[in-house]
Amino acid sequence: MQLANKVAVVTGSAQRIGATIAATLAARGAAVVVNYRYSAADAAATVERISLDGGTALALAGDMANAEDVEALFAATLAAFGRVDILVNNASTFRRTPLESLVEADWTDMLDNNLHAARRPALRFGNWMRAHGAGAIVNIADTAAERPWRGYLPYSIAKAGIVALTRGLAKELAPEVRVNAIAPGPILFPPDYDPAARERELARTLLRREGHPQNIADAVVALVENDYITGVLLPVDGGRSLGA
């Protein structure tokens, strides 16, 4: 799939990795919907950045854990561009949930804002793509999907669900729509992340260094453009998944 003149929707793309994915797809010629939940100012800045670089982008609000918001995003995308060719499910919530203090709300939060925030748009946009003959979906998972982290059980399980969703939808939507996933490693640690823990995490990678959002964006482009890849989970983690 060549990206020129295609339409891409990137959920959770106002800032950080999502913004880099959106800008990279736009630089390759796609018109991009920058979806956000709360970060309106950041989304506007991402759209401006894309526009200044000669690309086309539109910021649209919506909580991907909410079915009505997903439907509104779908309708607004078609109203603006008349089609959708690419969906990148990047919207996510990440926080520590130690087992000793885990409550039911933690499960709801993590499953809704990770697994279901990918499931709902994947089904809505994916079924439309299949009916119209072609499309590509890339879900952003995590290395925790296959190697759960202590203290992040609901998050790890939600991300594991995204991997299962990817493989299942690759079968359900074939042959018209390809569905793949990316498992990022240590990239863009939260600002309040413990420095000692950060160094321990980087030491577990084979490359002994932190990745960059562009590494993920380039992987998204590769999975979208290569039309003979579907149903895969691609680690972009500096070798972290090997358990170094």
User: Encoding tokens for residue 193?
Assistant: 């992340």
User: Encoding tokens for residue 115?
Assistant: 């697994």
Highest mean pLDDT among 151-160, 203-212, 220-229: 220-229
* pLDDT for residue 9 is more than 60: yes
Model pLDDT for residues 45-56, shown as the tens digit of each residue: 999 999 999 999
Mean pLDDT for the stretch of residues 144-163: 90
* pLDDT for residue 73 is more than 80: yes
**Which pTM was predicted?**
0.95
pLDDT of residue 24: 98
Whether 200 and 244 have beta carbons less than 8 Å apart is answered as: no
pLDDT of residue 46: 98
Mean pLDDT for all residues in the chain: 94
pLDDT of residue 96: 82
Which residues are identified as catalytic?
A: 155
Confidence of residue 160 (pLDDT cuts 50, 70, 90): very high
pLDDT of residue 188: 84
Q: When comparing pLDDT for 50 and 190, which is higher?
A: 50
Q: Give the range among 78-82, 181-185, 186-190 with minimum mean pLDDT.
A: 186-190
Could you tell me which CATH number the domain at 7-242 has?
A: 3.40.50.720
pLDDT of residue 193: 78
Mean pLDDT for the stretch of residues 185-205: 85
For the chain, the structural domain boundaries read: 7-242
pLDDT of residue 192: 75
Mean pLDDT for the stretch of residues 80-109: 92
